[in-house]
C-alpha cells in the first residue's frame, strides 16, 4: 500500500536510504532533517511510503522553484529485498496520483548516468518518462559525463543527496522571496 509518510516511518526510511550506499553521514542527516520538517508541516513537497506491514520504500517530491505546476521527484528508494517487485512503479504511480490532485503539469526526475543507476533509469522509462537531457560536467578543462565516470566524486557529483540539497536550497530561496513585502513602502510610492 502506498500512503503518506508518518512520523513512525522515519527510522525505517533512513535505514532504507542508508543501505542504498548512496548517502554519507551528512547526506543522511540532511534527509532526516528534510523529512522532519515535512512531518512538522513545513514545505510544499510530499513524502509517500510503500507499506507492507512496515515501510519498504519511499518517495519524496517537491515543486520546482520559479515554475508553474512543475514538480521534481527527488528521491525514490525501495528496500533492496523489494527491488523488481513493482514497488518502485507503485510509488511512481502514487506520486503521479498526488500530483494530479494538485493540478501539476510536469514531473521531472533527475538521476545518475552511472551504471549502478541503470535499474532506476529503466523504471522511469517503463513508467513513461522520456530522457530529455544529459547534464555534462566540466572538470579539469574537459567535458565528461557521469556515465563515463565510475567515481561520482571525480565527476563532480555529491550523490543523490546533492540533488536534494540543491532543490531544498532553491525552495528556501523561493520562500525567502515570497516573504518579501508585497506593498510598496510610502517612501517609494
Q: Which three cell numbers stand for residue 87?
A: 514497488
Between 23 and 4, whose confidence is greater? 4
The whole-number pLDDT of residue 117 equals 84
- pTM of the entire predicted model: 0.72
As a whole-number percent, the residues of the chain with pLDDT over 70 amount to 71
Q: 67-81, pLDDT tens digit by residue? A: 888 899 999 999 999
The whole-number pLDDT of residue 34 equals 94
- Is residue 78 packed enough to be buried (19+ CB in 10 Å), middle (13-18) or exposed (0-12)? buried
Taking Cα atoms as reference points, which of 49, 45, 70, 69 lies closest to residue 58? Answer: 49
Q: Which helix (H) or strand (E) holds 78?
A: strand 70-78
Q: Which helix (H) or strand (E) holds 46?
A: strand 46-51
Q: 52-62, pLDDT tens digit by residue? A: 999 999 999 99
**Sign (positive/negative) of CA torsion 6, 9, 14, 16?**
negative
Q: Which three cell numbers stand for residue 115?
A: 551504471
Between 85 and 165, whose confidence is greater? 85
- d(C-alpha 76, C-alpha 17), whole Å: 9
Q: 112-163, pLDDT tens digit by residue? A: 877 888 888 889 888 888 887 777 654 444 444 444 444 433 333 333 333 3
Q: Residue 126 in 3-state DSSP?
A: helix
Mean of the pLDDT values across residues 89-96? Answer: 95
Q: Which three cell numbers stand for residue 58?
A: 519511499
Q: Which three cell numbers stand for residue 53?
A: 506491514
For 189, residues 6+ apart whose C-beta sits below 8 A from its C-beta are none
The whole-number pLDDT of residue 129 equals 85
Is the model's pLDDT at 103 over the cut of 50?
yes
Q: Is 2-174 assigned to CATH 1.10.1370.30?
A: no
- Please state, in angstroms and as integers, the Cα–Cα distance from residue 86 to each residue in 60, 110, 160, following that order: 17, 20, 22
CB 104 within 8 A of CB 71: yes
Every domain of the chain and the residues it spans: 2-174
CB 73 within 8 A of CB 84: no
Amino acid at each position: 500500500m502506498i500512503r503518506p509518510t508518518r512520523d513512525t516511518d522515519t527510522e525505517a526510511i533512513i535505514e532504507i536510504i542508508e543501505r542504498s550506499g548512496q548517502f554519507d553521514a551528512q547526506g543522511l542527516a540532511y534527509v532526516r532533517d528534510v523529512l522532519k520538517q515535512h512531518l512538522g508541516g513545513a514545505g510544499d513537497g510530499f513524502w509517500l511510503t510503500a507499506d507492507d506491514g512496515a515501510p519498504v520504500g519511499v518517495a519524496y517530491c517537491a515543486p520546482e522553484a520559479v515554475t508553474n505546476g512543475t514538480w521534481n521527484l527527488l528521491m525514490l528508494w525501495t528496500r533492496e529485498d523489494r527491488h523488481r517487485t513493482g514497488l518502485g512503479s507503485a510509488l511512481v504511480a502514487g506520486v503521479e496520483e498526488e500530483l494530479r490532485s494538485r493540478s501539476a503539469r510536469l514531473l521531472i526526475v533527475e538521476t545518475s548516468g552511472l551504471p549502478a543507476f541503470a535499474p532506476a533509469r529503466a523504471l522511469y522509462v517503463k513508467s513513461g518518462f522520456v530522457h530529455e537531457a544529459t547534464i555534462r560536467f566540466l572538470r579539469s578543462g574537459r567535458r565528461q559525463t557521469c556515465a563515463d565516470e565510475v567515481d561520482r566524486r571525480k565527476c563532480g557529483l555529491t550523490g543523490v543527496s546533492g540533488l536534494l540539497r540543491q532543490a531544498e536550497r532553491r525552495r528556501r530561496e523561493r520562500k525567502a522571496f515570497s516573504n518579501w513585502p508585497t506593498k510598496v513602502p510610502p517612501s517609494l510610492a
